[in-house]
């Protein structure tokens, strides 16, 4: 797998914690320059103090389309170009489908889906003009399959998957690469109040939640720090994949899901064929 790195310029949303902070730090430590965004720039001060002019800290709520375009263009003007635009901002809503309020669902989609869409739309003209660029979005294994109480979160990631699948086909001719990053479970702060929100629980689903908790017991969560070399290898690749699983269980679980789908489609092939008319 051939690769290259000539000192890249990154734009990373949601860089104050979790994967965004880890990957921004890894890029900066190897000499890249990074525009980092967060809703509160105070959470980014330590990066500016450590890495100086290699960091551009920007306040941004990705649900604000106009502000998102402004931030992307400001970063491009400041550094003279952008090579890697990474959609990382997001959170996980938890609750059964019946429990989810309209506010719950709209808020989830505004951040995880529309936020990534606005960043992407802002970056594309810049990438086209320079004839290169790599657009990335943090999806999830739950963008390939879902589990109980994560339906709303999965819906936002399924939407992102469809968006980037089409995008990849649309922009290849402009020298633009597109990748969906699909992590399995990692020991990040995904479950804390800043990264997760919860619907009001209906007691009729207590057994569903208990079964999910039992299933999660003993789960081998990945080490977030171990993902940084994979991301650097990804952005340095001359032929990056459309989808990259992070974690051994990501590959095995997504493969099993795909195989189950194929088995079902084949079992129902005659019924599907008859419906052709």
Is 70 exceeded by the pLDDT of residue 193? no
Overall average pLDDT of the 115-123 stretch: 98
Tell me what pLDDT residue 187 has. Answer: 82
Active-site position among 157, 197, 199, 205: 157
Is the pLDDT score of 219 beyond 60?
yes
Pairing verdict, β 243-246 and 133-138: unpaired
- Among 8, 16, 146, 153, the active-site one is 153
Instruction: Please report the pLDDT score of residue 90 as a whole number.
Output: 95
Q: Which of 16, 91, 113, 139 is an active site residue?
A: 139
**Res. 2: pLDDT tops 60:** no
Contact 43, 21 (CB under 8 A): no
Q: Is residue 8 over pLDDT 80?
A: yes
- What pLDDT sits at residue 6? 64
CA dihedral sign, ordered 80, 241, 148, 224: negative
Query: Which pLDDT belongs to residue 70?
Result: 98
The rounded mean pLDDT for the chain is 95
Question: Are 75 and 88 within 8 A, CB to CB?
Answer: no
pLDDT at 215: 87
Closest CA to 22 of 151, 149, 189, 150: 189
CA 129 to chain centre: 25
Report CA Rg, the chain.
20
Least confident of 78-87, 186-195, 230-239: 186-195
- From residue 121, alpha-carbon distances to 4, 234, 273 in Å are 26, 22, 39
8 belongs to the catalytic site: no
Q: What's this model's pTM, rounded to 2 decimal places?
A: 0.94
Q: What is the pLDDT of residues 76-93, one digit of tens each?
A: 999 999 999 999 999 999
> Mean pLDDT, to the nearest integer, of 245-258?
95
What domains, with CATH codes, occur in the chain? 9-249 (3.40.50.720)
Determine the pLDDT at residue 91: 95
**In the 8-state DSSP scheme, what is residue 274?**
H
Tokens of 212: 């999910």
153 catalytically annotated? yes
What is the 3-state secondary structure of 43-83?
A: HHHHHHHHHHHHEEEEECCCCCHHHHHHHHHHHHHHHCCCC
Q: Judge whether residue 151 has pLDDT over 70.
A: yes
244 beta partners: 181
101 is annotated as an active-site residue: no
pLDDT of 137 strictly over 70: yes
**Residue 13 is encoded by which pair of tokens?**
């949303």
What does the pLDDT read at residue 188? 76
Instruction: Tell whether the model's pLDDT for residue 216 goes beyond 90.
Output: no
């Amino acid at each position: 797998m051939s690769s290259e790195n000539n000192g890249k310029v990154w734009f990373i949303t949601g860089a104050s914690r979790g994967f965004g902070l880890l990957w921004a730090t890894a890029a900066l430590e190897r000499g890249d320059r990074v525009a980092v965004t967060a809703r509160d720039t105070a959470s980014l001060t330590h990066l500016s103090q450590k890495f100086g002019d290699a960091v551009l800290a920007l306040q941004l709520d990705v649900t604000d389309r106009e502000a998102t375009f402004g931030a992307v263009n400001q970063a491009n003007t400041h550094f003279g170009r952008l090579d890697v635009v990474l959609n990382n901002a997001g959170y996980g809503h938890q609750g059964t489908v019946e429990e989810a309020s309209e506010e719950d669902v709209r808020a989830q989609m505004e951040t995880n889906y529309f936020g990534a869409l606005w960043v992407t739309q802002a970056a594309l003209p810049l990438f086209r003009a320079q004839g290169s660029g790599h657009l990335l979005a943090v999806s999830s294994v739950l963008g390939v399959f879902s589990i109980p109480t994560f339906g709303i979160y999965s819906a936002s990631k399924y939407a992102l998957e469809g968006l980037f699948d089409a995008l990849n086909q649309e922009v290849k001719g402009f020298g633009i690469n597109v990748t969906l990053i699909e992590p399995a479970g990692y020991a990040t702060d995904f479950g804390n109040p800043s990264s997760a929100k919860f619907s009001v629980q209906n007691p009729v689903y207590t057994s569903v939640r208990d079964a999910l908790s039992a299933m999660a017991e003993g789960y081998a969560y990945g080490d977030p720090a171990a993902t940084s070399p994979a991301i650097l290898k990804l952005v340095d690749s001359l032929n990056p994949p459309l989808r990259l699983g992070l974690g051994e269980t990501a590959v095995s679980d997504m493969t099993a899901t795909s195989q189950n789908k194929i088995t079902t489609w084949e079992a129902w092939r005659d019924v599907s064929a008859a419906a052709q008319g």
